[in-house]
Structure 1
Amino acid sequence: MTEHATSDERRPANRGPRAAAGNRAALVTAAREVYAAHGLDAPLSAIARRAGVGQGVLYRHFPDRDAVAAAVLEENVRQIEQAAAAEDATPDGVLGVLTWHLAQSAAFIGLLHADGASGRSTTGHAYARDLSERVERALRGCLPDGHRLADDLMLAVAMVSGAVTGPTPETREHRAVAAWRLLGVTVGPVRPFAG
């Protein structure tokens, strides 16, 4: 005899390919949250659970741990670029978006320190350096002539990112804003870019 699930036990209908974009976005958001709480070594199963999908769905979108981290980093950089390109972009506002990503994404801080100091030329390092350079271009593009960060922009970003420590995103955000303040830089609202 076949048992049928009651309405309370039914799984959501499989929406197939129509769900792919939503699943991917949910996985990137979940990965950012899981990495912020547990670091880059967090189990991929935790990311899938947080996104509300099975591990098979995660692996359809991301073949390995590096691909998940790369997707989070790409989303971080894309939001900063969009904030800087917005018609009403201000240095304070873009720094607020950058600061949100620093407080929310553990991997993002490492990316901003990808300066080639190791001397190795690996594909991953080259990718990180490219993303870091995109962040710098976006930030420089919204700075007016003579802005206090013009000469030492990425040094200031590295210094602030070094202050982003603590057990919660709120603590990390507070420390980042305090670090900007110590550098004499005003930061706009700390939030993701809402485009």
Structure 2
Amino acid sequence: MTQPPTPDERRPANDGPKAAARNRSALITAAREIYAAHGLDAPLSAIARRAGVGQGVLYRNFPDRAAVATAVLEENVRQVEQAAAADDATLADVLGVMTWHLTESAAFIGLLHAEGAGGHSDIRAYAVALSERVERGLRGHLTQGHRLGAADDLMLAVAMVSGAVTGPTREERERRARAAWRLLGVEVGPVRPFEA
């Protein structure tokens, strides 16, 4: 016969909404890492394992593959928008945040090339809308006469840089991204996530 646990042995209190927010954040971070290594077709079970949660927690937060991918993309775009909205932001600062996301997330690169969503038509339309938000954030920091100011030049330059972001390590991808921006004659600030 088992004895009831003593007060010292009881389970920790359920954190409720705090745990839910923490789990969702961990799943988005894990998905970004898994997608960077394996692309959008990576198994969802790998994302749950990386986040340290069960698959049930993943499906409570994200009912399907498209929901996971769009959550990662939304977080990436939100950070670019926050960087663009900062009071003292420059184009170089915003490009630094965007470049960080390029080096961290294969899914973000796919977003910036809306056709990169490939057979994921459920993600494609959303990706186009998010790409437009990124462009608005960047374009708001172009000065009069900037070399990327012409209609399609800005996003063409972003596509060219994102195409150069290859390599086995984040450091190598960042080195290549910086080199691509340099070849385009565009200054990039510190490559890092946006921190409020």
Q: State the TM-score, normalized to the length of structure 2.
A: 0.88
2:84 is equivalent to residue 84 of structure 1: yes
Q: Which residue of 2 aligns with 1:166?
A: 167
Give the distance between the partners of 2:12 and 2:145, measured in 1 at CA.
Answer: 56
Q: Which residue of 1 aligns with 2:192?
A: 191
Distance 1:12 1:163, change over 3 A: farther
The DSSP-based 3-state class of the residue aligned with 1:142 is coil
Aligned-pair CA distance for 1:113: 1.1
Give the distance between the partners of 2:83 and 2:55, measured in 1 at CA.
Answer: 32
Q: Percent identity?
A: 78
Counterpart code for 1:96: G
Counterpart code for 2:190: P
Give the distance between the partners of 2:123 and 2:190, measured in 1 at CA.
Answer: 32
The DSSP-based 3-state class of the residue aligned with 1:83 is helix
Distance 1:52 1:66, change over 3 A: same
Distance 1:43 1:105, change over 3 A: same
CA contact (8 A) 2:66 2:122 kept: no
Give the distance between the partners of 1:189 and 1:4, measured in 2 at CA.
Answer: 56
Give the distance between the partners of 2:110 and 2:20, measured in 1 at CA.
Answer: 29
CA contact (8 A) 1:34 1:47 kept: yes
Distance 1:4 1:146, change over 3 A: farther
Aligned-pair CA distance for 1:18: 3.0
Aligned-pair CA distance for 1:41: 2.1
Aligned residues: 189
Give the distance between the partners of 1:16 and 1:80, measured in 2 at CA.
Answer: 30
CA contact (8 A) 1:112 1:132 kept: yes
Give the distance between the partners of 1:174 and 1:12, measured in 2 at CA.
Answer: 45
The DSSP-based 3-state class of the residue aligned with 1:84 is helix
CA contact (8 A) 1:94 1:139 kept: yes
Q: Which residue of 2 aligns with 1:125?
A: 124
Aligned-pair CA distance for 1:38: 2.3
Give the distance between the partners of 1:3 and 1:37, measured in 2 at CA.
Answer: 47
Distance 1:187 1:70, change over 3 A: same
Give the distance between the partners of 1:124 and 1:134, measured in 2 at CA.
Answer: 15
CA contact (8 A) 2:36 2:104 kept: yes
Counterpart code for 1:183: L
Q: Which residue of 1 aligns with 2:66?
A: 66
Q: Stretches of 4+ moved more than 4 A in 1?
A: 10-13
For structure 1, which runs of at least 5 residues remain unmatched after alignment?
Answer: none
Q: CA RMSD in A?
A: 2.4
CA contact (8 A) 1:37 1:168 kept: no
Q: Which residue of 2 aligns with 1:150?
A: 149
2:16 is equivalent to residue 37 of structure 1: no
